[in-house]
Structure formats: structure tokens, C-alpha cells
Amino acid sequence: MIQLVRGFRDILPGEAMVWQQVEQAARDRFECFGFSEIRTPVIEQTALFKRSIGEDTDIVEKEMYTFPGSKDTLLTLRPEATASVVRAYIQHKLYAADPVRKLYSIGPMFRRERPQKGRYRQFSQINAEVFGIESPYMDAQLIYMLTRFLDALDVPGLRVHLNSLGCPECRNGYRDALRAVFSGKTDRLCSDCVRRIDRNPLRLLDCKVPGCREVAADAPSMADFLCADCDAHFKTVTAGLDAMGVAYERDPRLVRGLDYYTRTTFEIQTDALGAQSAVAGGGRYDGLVEQLGGPSVPAVGFAIGMDRLVELVMAAQPVLLRPPAVFFAAMGAEAWKRAFQWAGELSDQGIRVEIDFSERSLKALMRRADRLGAQFVLIVGERELEEKTVSLRHMATKAQTAVPVDNLVAVVKEKIWESGV
């Protein structure tokens, strides 16, 4: 039998229902804050990701699914969403009427990482991006929105980690300080990090190799290098979070795996997922729109890892498939035909129905209805059809009512309504 490709996954019905709930909760919450949905393709020109995510990142160096397109272009399955959303914002001049745009999107991303629990080669994200607002209150509002969304899902043990990476100017001083520390410790660093010391020493702070983590733990803190403007910006972010009662931990070594971040960066972390601690991450990327050929527009956003979040939600609550409201225990050709019509009419009223078309005894049909958790069973046999009444059984109370066939849909609907589901 041909099996699933390693690093990819099937989302089976029980879990898929939780995905729907999480997606709907995000849509509802984000739309309260003025976000609208954008859908971009999963394939983009490779150059888009190279220019935005950065040439020295793990993603661009080794994780992208890249293949030849037409002519000389290379194409890549998107490893993240922000670059595509920025491209669309520029390409369709979404800034023309008003530079402020709040966009969200939901969909799969692709990275050729080493597959393990919580780390897949296709995974899904919910992304939110805000364009055109430089105010630190926007950063705080975005983090507030994200944490309220997570709170509503009742996932325990999530922490907000917060840092500022400063602007390109003040970060230069920090880079120099990191280089000075790291270049004396190359014997303890992985080969990627040694190679990146010169070009991009911040990458080392995000390396997951244990030796590099130890070295990173003693690295200088960006907080000591922020310029006055960046410092003031960050202070307003934290004051905004304090005002809204959002708890956070300052994490001076939080850098994130993409190069485009400036100033505020944050991550939602948990201890409940083993080695994979990040549930969501984001931050400001004030230079990216201009860098990709658009106007100079500040921006801030985040991405939620759906696979990890759903795993946490499922650990906190049992997953139950929605049972049918009405199960038709129909026996015989004539009964199937009538039940088939009634089921259609009930479904038109928004009622969940299930019919068993197999030739089974009433006892076996009742057992199946029970197993599915059906709320009501309609017993339809040849005799019931002759007498023009069928029995409606309420499974929880075992109460049985005779329902006239001429008025079946209305009566069943009323019974369901009375029973309060």
C-alpha cells in the first residue's frame, strides 16, 4: 500500500473539526479588529523569499521546495506567508486609498525540515499583517488580539516572550558586539553559525543546536543597544500590554528565524509540546514593503502554527464528532425511499441526518444509532408506512412518540427544538 510521505500529515475528521473551530475563532476575533481575509497562492517566485526572509537563514539556505518554472525563473512553495502578502499589497496597490490595511490569511506552508513531532514539511499557519501603522500601540494591540484569541481556546500554559531588535542603525552596534563574543568561541558553535558570524551574527541566537544555545545564553542583550527612538517605541509596547493586563516575559535573545524583523518581536511559547516550544511568532518589519519595491510603509504581524495549536487544544478537551440529530432506522425498499426523501427535507432545515440503507434488523440499527450518538431515531418499516405513522424515539429518555407521516418534517423539527439542541 502506498503510504503518506514522511513529514506530511493527514488531518482526520475529529481533528479537522477542531481545525475548523480554531479557524472560525480566529476569523471572528480578527474581524473585530478590522482585519479582512486575503488568499495568496502557495507558489511564488523564489526571488521573493530570498529577498525577504534573507539569504543566510535556514529557510532559504536549505528548507525551500524549489523547482524550475517557465523560462529562467525558479519557483518555490511558500515557506511562510508574510512575503506573499507584502507582494500582493504592493502589486495591487492596496495602499492607494489608505496605507492602513489589516489582512489575515490561513493556509499551508512548506519547509524541508527534519520531520519530528510538531515539525512537519507541510504545516498550516494563521497569519495577521498590519500595514501603515508605526505606532507601538498597534504592536500591543496585535499581541492583545493574539493572546485573547488563545485564551478563548482554553489552552493552558502559554507565555508571551517579547523583545525589541531595534532598527537597522542601532542593530549594527549589537551585531558588532555579538561578533566580538562569538568569534572567540567558534570551537563551541555549529558550522552554520561559524559561517554566519560575519554576515549575520543574529542568526546564532535562533540556532537550535545545544552548543550554540549555551553560547547564545551568555551573549549580550539587544536591550543595551537600542537607540532612543527604539527604546521609547518598546516602552510604549510594554506599557500598552500592561494597560490591557497582558502578561509577558522580556526575552532579550529572542530573534526569530527571518531577517526582516525590526523593533518588536514576540513569540508565544509552551512547555507542553516537547522540543517544539513556539506556538506563534511575529513582530515588526518596517523595512520590508520598501525593500520589495513598494512605498515606505511600516508593518507588523504574526503567524500562528495551526498544527501545534490544535495539538494543544486537543490535549485540553476531548474531541467529539457532531452526532446526527435524526437517525433513520429504515427497513425495506419502500421505507428507504421515504426516509431518503424525509432526510433530504430535514437537511434543508439545517438538521443533521443519517440513514442506514443496509439490510439489518431493527436491533442492529438501534445499536448503530446509539454508537453514533444520534439524538433521535425515526423507525420506518413497511407496517409504519401502512399505518401512516412512524415512531420517533428520543435516545436519551427512551420516550417514543408516534409521528404522522403527512406532517413528519414539521413534527420532527419541533421535537428537536423542544429537546433543546
Closest to 81 in 3D by CA, of 221, 382, 231, 282:
282
The secondary element (H helix, E strand) that includes residue 306 is helix 306-316
Q: Does 276 bind ligand ATP (CB under 6 A)?
A: yes
Residue number of the CB closest to Mg ion reads 257
**From the CB of residue 244, how many other CB atoms can be counted at a distance below 10 Å?**
13
Task: Quote the CA–CA distance of 309 and 232 in Å, as a whole number.
Answer: 33
Report, in Å, the least distance between residue 120 CB and ligand ATP. 4
Q: Does 113 bind ligand ATP (CB under 6 A)?
A: yes
The two beta strands, 278-284 and 101-110, are: unpaired
CB-CB contact of 319 with 17 (8 Å): yes
Which residues, 124 to 163, sit near ligand ATP by CB under 6 A? 125
Closest to 415 in 3D by CA, of 145, 406, 400, 65:
400
Report, in Å, the least distance between residue 118 CB and ligand ATP. 6
Of 85, 193, 254, 279, the residue at the interface with ligand ATP (CB under 6 A) is: 279
Q: What is the DSSP string of 51-70?
A: HHH-TTSHIIIII--EEE-S
Q: Does 253 bind ligand ATP (CB under 6 A)?
A: no
Q: Does 305 bind ligand ATP (CB under 6 A)?
A: yes
Report, in Å, the least distance between residue 306 CB and Mg ion. 15
Stretch that binds ligand ATP, among 279-287, 341-349, 351-359, 381-389 (CB under 6 A): 279-287
HSE value, Cβ hemisphere, 13 Å, CA-based, for 144: 17
Residue number of the CB closest to ligand ATP reads 305
354's CB contacts (< 8 A; 6+ apart) are: 324, 326, 327, 328, 343, 372, 374
94 or 280: CB nearest ligand ATP: 280
Of 50, 78, 102, 111, the residue at the interface with ligand ATP (CB under 6 A) is: 111
Report, in Å, the least distance between residue 115 CB and Mg ion. 13
Binding residues for Mg ion, rule: CB under 5 A, are 257
Point out which residues bind ligand ATP (CB under 6 A): 80, 111, 113, 118-120, 123, 125, 256-257, 276, 278-281, 303, 305, 307-308
